[in-house]
Structure 1
Amino acid sequence: MKRLILIAALLFSVVPSLGALGQTESPSVDVVEVSGTIDRLTVDFIESTLAEVAASGSEVVVIQMDSWGSAGVPPERMDALIDAIDTSSVPVVVWVGPIPAEIRGDAQRILDVADYVFSSSGARFTGEDGSVIEVAPGALPDGVDELVPTLQQVFQTVDGMPGTDGDPIESLTLNAEGEITTLRIVFHTPSYWSQFLHLATTPHAAFFFLVVGLAVVTFEFYAIGPGIAAATGVLSMVLGFYGLAVLPFRWWALALILLGWVALTASHQRGGVFALSATGALLMTAGGLTLNGGGPAITTSWPLVVAAVLAVLFFYLLAMPVVGRSRFSTPTLGAEGMIGREGNALGDMQPDGEVEIDGATWQAGSHREAGIRAGDRVRVIEVDGVFLEVEPAQPSE
């Protein structure tokens, strides 16, 4: 019996060790892609990846960069990231590529503390004074060690170079056939939620998601009941406001965008008024083009801003009227059925205001001489799109 207990104890002590031995990972080279704006989520992602590769015994970590710098990151957080790269126990190589990659703003700080910096031909480096250097053979910016066209060639180039501890980096190995090949490559990517939010970290993208979200939510307001459009509009606005939370922007430009949205909605409410629609489109365009408050390092694509405004304008002119017509095509809410219905004024009409008909709130207008006050009974005499014309249901005393 004692012998059986001894054998069982021995098995329990050996089996976990064998399992751990089987789970030991082979040496690797790790790749971290950093593109666009460096926001707080990107900073957290780079720091956590550096800690992960240090624990896994990686030979080298390659940061593939195409960035115009940080936005919405407190200086102390950016300093902590730079320190983490500078003191990393795993050699850090920055590769600016592929074409048309570029480096602007304080993204340059990451290059300054990396162990090695490579760049693809055609990459662009923008200095603090706005000067631009395009990488070409014989024309390397300060701090760039070598011209390396592809990521695969980065692993070949760095092999044998001194690492952080002075030992040579071994990014290449021999396969079973005796051929030279790269070590196991591990690509690190942010979470899906981080990637989703990162979509809005440019001024034109934040503008696009904001105005599209406002338009779609307005569309859903005139449709019957919440649905897919409402969810799409809310998600789009989440992206838009996240972009504004990350990026430096001008408050007065945001006010212009919101005024443009109000003008377009008012135009639709009144059955389509050209002056209001044109004013709304111009206000949105002006707000979108001046929204960026981050200086030359963060640029706004004016074609994308104009395209977004045109899309929203046509949405209001074409899609929104269809909603109104479909709403009035139902037997209970048809135009003929609305005329003659009675309800209550929700406020003083001067001459426009809101009325409640059969439990639904409508925008309505009346003659100034009608003198309709809050609580007065009103009767529908005309329907213009989604706008009602009303009169007192009984003569005022």
Structure 2
Amino acid sequence: MRRTIWALLALALLILGFLLHNRPAAAPAGGEVVVLRIDGVIGPATSDFFARELARAHKRQAGLVVLAMDTPGGLDTSMRAIIKDILAAPLPIATWVGPEGARAASAGTYILYASHIAAMAPATNLGAATPVAIGMPGGKPDGVTPRKDKKDDKSAESPAAVGDAMMEKVRNDAAAYLRSLAQLRGRSGDFAERAVREAASLSADEALAAGVIDVIAADLPELMAKLDGREVKLNGGRMQRLATAAAAITEIAPDWRMRVLAIVSNPQLALMLMMIGIYALFFEFTNPGFGVPGVAGAICLLVALYAFHLLPVNWAGVALVALGAILMLAEAFLPSFGALGVGGIVAFVVGGLFLMDTEAPGFGIPLPFLVGLAVTSALLIGAVGSFAARTRSRPVVSGREQLSGAIATVSTVTADGAWALVQGESWRVASDSPLAPGDRVRVTRLDGLTLHVEPLPPEPPHRPGGSPP
């Protein structure tokens, strides 16, 4: 009985120890640290990569996700998608601007402010978060207010004044957004205001002194050591203490999916794919039956449309680009004396300038690129169109149509009819004149499978080595 009691007590202690060891951690949170590296412009591929890897880290019960970032900025839509994922994340997110020499400019500043922990490496910087957009008339540099003549109140209704008002709305919206993130994370709202309105920037030491970031760490091991034991407030108010000193670090580089999306979402490549698709379909329509250009053109057009769907494009610009291509195609067949071609080039260039609704780094379309692509398109379409027009004007050299006018030799004449050899083939022939084997005839028309012919005079005999008599 005594041994049984001791055994039950030992079993109870083992169960209690197991439960205490495996109970949900209200204080320390261990697990691996997942490091996601983002280098370059923030776009649709970046937001897709972050969302997928964040979900995988949550399934693996990671204790912390570190976003190692070096970016000049990016698209507003992609940035806001990443920030929404950070704010709703069920585990802590730390953004580290590194390694040394990296930056978190423009969109990177917003992401840094939104993270639970903001860290930077020495010799890095953040800021310059002023939104920039095109297509707004009268835009002035940030922080510069146009002077108005008090005697002329109508200037407020000018396009320049309207453009300034629109830009001011955009800046106010961006400043309020960054300020709200600063208030949520307890960071400096003063610098958030200046980063948007004055394009202010700070170094890592200045950012730490101003209360913009939490930690300066030269590398990831130092960052893990400094974050160990820090408490983080997650979504819903739940507090979680980090245990990163001895945590395993798993670095995840962008996979093939992100690389493909990054290539496809390049606006210059999307525009080129669109034009290649138009060229290929044009070649298929002018030379039907080949098949490969039509299939390749359809694929290129679909990929280009998918890229436009990912990007913040102006669909009026897409329509102008398509109109320009159609006008340049029409120039190859219609006698417009260059009017359609010039109009097509102008529409193509203007549409390319209006194509993107942003001037985020890496997403602009340079004017020389547009002009070069438009001129190349005009020359290529003109060359293909001229070749197709010359081909149509040539006589037919194959098929049933080319039999008209062909010279044949009568091979057989029977009571049922006559037969002749036409281009190596035996055809039934009919003529209003009597025919004899060996007669030379010319095909006048085709009636079903019967050729109507007319006799030709016999060829004069030739003297060997001389001229005919």
User: Which TM-score tier does this pair reach, normalised by the shorter chain?
Assistant: 0.5 to 0.7
CA offsets, 1:91-122, max 9 Å, x none? Answer: 43243678786543597146422412326637
Structure 2 residue ranges without an equivalent (≥5): 1-30, 132-170, 172-195, 233-239, 403-469
Distance across 2 between alignment mates of 1:97 and 1:244: 33
> Corresponding residue for 2:348?
284
Structure 2 CA distance, aligned partners of 1:264 and 1:211? 12
Gaps of at least 5 residues in structure 1 are: 1-25, 173-182, 343-397
The one-character-per-residue Cα deviations of 1:134-191 (angstroms, maximum 9, x if unpaired) are 5656564973456778xxx24433433235433442378xxxxxxxxxx553315356
Structure 2 counterpart SS, 1:92: strand
Native 8 Å contact 1:206 1:240 kept in 2: yes
Judged with a 3 Å threshold, the aligned counterparts in structure 2 of structure 1 residues 336 and 64 are, in CA distance, closer, same or farther, namely: farther
Contact 1:37 1:202 in 2 (8 A): no
- Residues 1:126 and 1:53: Cα distance change in structure 2 (over 3 Å): same
Counterpart of 2:241 in structure 1 is 166
The answer on whether the counterparts of 1:95 and 1:154 sit within 8 Å (CA) in structure 2 is no
Q: Does 1:143 align with 2:202?
A: no
Shift in CA distance, 230/111, structure 1 to aligned 2, threshold 3 Å: farther
Query: Who is 1:207 aligned against?
Result: 271
- Specify the alignment match of 2:36 in structure 1: 31
Instruction: Check whether the contact 1:117–1:143 (CA below 8 A) recurs between aligned residues.
Output: no
Answering whether residue 130 of structure 2 is matched by residue 71 of structure 1, we say no
**Counterpart amino acid of residue 346 in structure 2:** L
Q: Is the 8 A contact 2:333 2:385 kept in 1?
A: no
Q: Give the drift of 1:218.
A: 1.9
**Whole-Å separation in 1 of the counterparts to 2:285 and 2:278:** 11
Question: Does the C-alpha gap of structure 1 residues 323 and 122 become closer, same or farther in structure 2, counting only changes over 3 Å?
Answer: farther
Q: Is the 8 A contact 2:109 2:129 kept in 1?
A: no
Flag the 1:161–1:184 CA change in 2: closer, same or farther, 3 A.
Answer: closer
Alignment length (residue pairs): 292
Matched, 1:261 2:301: no
| Other-structure match for 1:50 | 54
**Could you tell me whether the CA contact under 8 Å between 2:286 and 2:388 is conserved in 1?**
yes
Q: Which residue of 2 aligns with 1:117?
A: 119
Amino acid corresponding to residue 264 of structure 1 in structure 2: M
- Residues 68 and 103, structure 1, Cα contact 8 Å, conserved in 2: no
SS at match of 2:74: strand
Offset at residue 49 of structure 1 (A): 1.6
User: How many Å apart are 1:286 and its aligned residue?
Assistant: 0.4
User: Does the CA-based 8 Å contact 1:61-1:90 persist in structure 2?
Assistant: yes
Rounded Cα–Cα distance in structure 1 between residues aligned with 2:244 and 2:372: 49
For residues 201 and 280 of structure 1, what CA distance do their matches in structure 2 show? 25
- Structure-2 change in CA distance of 1:102 and 1:236 (3 Å): farther
Following TM superposition, by how much is the alpha carbon of 1:37 offset from its aligned partner in structure 2, in angstroms?
A: 4.7
% same residue:
14
Aligned residue identity for 2:212 = G
2:85 to 77, 81, 85: 81
- 1:198-253: CA deviations, max 9, x gaps? 43435444433323322332233334435443344333322321233233333432
The answer to whether structure 1 residue 250 and structure 2 residue 317 are counterparts is no
Q: Give a deviation string over 1:300-326, Cα, whole Å, max 9, x none.
A: 2324433433443343245x258638x
1:155–1:72 distance in 2 versus 1, CA, 3 Å: closer
Contact 1:60 1:171 in 2 (8 A): no
- The alpha carbon displacement at 1:279 in A equals 2.0
Residue 267 of structure 2 contacts residue 363 of structure 2 at CA under 8 Å; is this kept in 1?
yes
> Which residue pairs with 2:129 in the alignment?
126
Q: Within 5 A, what are the aligned runs for 1:310-349?
A: 310-318=375-383, 320=384, 324=388, 328=391, 335-337=394-396
Structure 2 distance, partners of 1:306, 1:184, is 49
Instruction: Supply the distance in 2 between the matched residues of 1:223 and 1:98 (Cα, whole angstroms).
Output: 57
Q: Is the 8 A contact 1:30 1:187 kept in 2?
A: yes
Which residue of 2 is the match for residue 221 of structure 1? 285
- Distance in 2, matches of 1:218 and 1:35, equals 37
Please identify the structure whose Cα radius of gyration is greater: 2
SS at match of 1:62: strand
Shift, 1:285, TM fit: 0.6
CA 1:102–1:232: 2 relative to 1, 3 Å: farther
User: Contact 2:86–2:93 (CA<8 Å) still a contact in 1?
Assistant: no
The match for 1:393 is none
Which one-letter code corresponds to 1:283 in the other structure? A
1:104 maps to what in 2?
Answer: 106
DSSP 3-state at the match of 2:297: helix
Letter in 1 for 2:199: V
CA contact (8 A) 2:36 2:50 kept: no
TM-score of the superposed pair, with normalisation by structure 2: 0.50
Offset at 1:280? 1.2
In 2 relative to 1, CA 227–79 (structure 1 residues): closer, same or farther, beyond 3 Å? same
TM norm structure 1: 0.57
Instruction: State the alpha-carbon separation in 1 of the partners of residues 255 and 109 from structure 2.
Output: 18
Q: Structure 1, residues 61-85: CA drift from partner, whole Å, max 9, x if none?
A: 3324434234389x8x667413234
- Residues 122, 135 of structure 1: 8 Å contact kept: yes
Change (3 A) 1:236 1:110: farther
**CA distance 1:92–1:79, change in 2 (3 Å):** closer
- CA distance 1:110–1:233, change in 2 (3 Å): farther
2:146 is matched with which residue?
none
Deviation at 1:50, TM superposition (A): 1.8
Indicate the RMSD between aligned Cα atoms, in angstroms.
4.4
Greater relative contact order (Cα < 8 A, sep 6+): 2
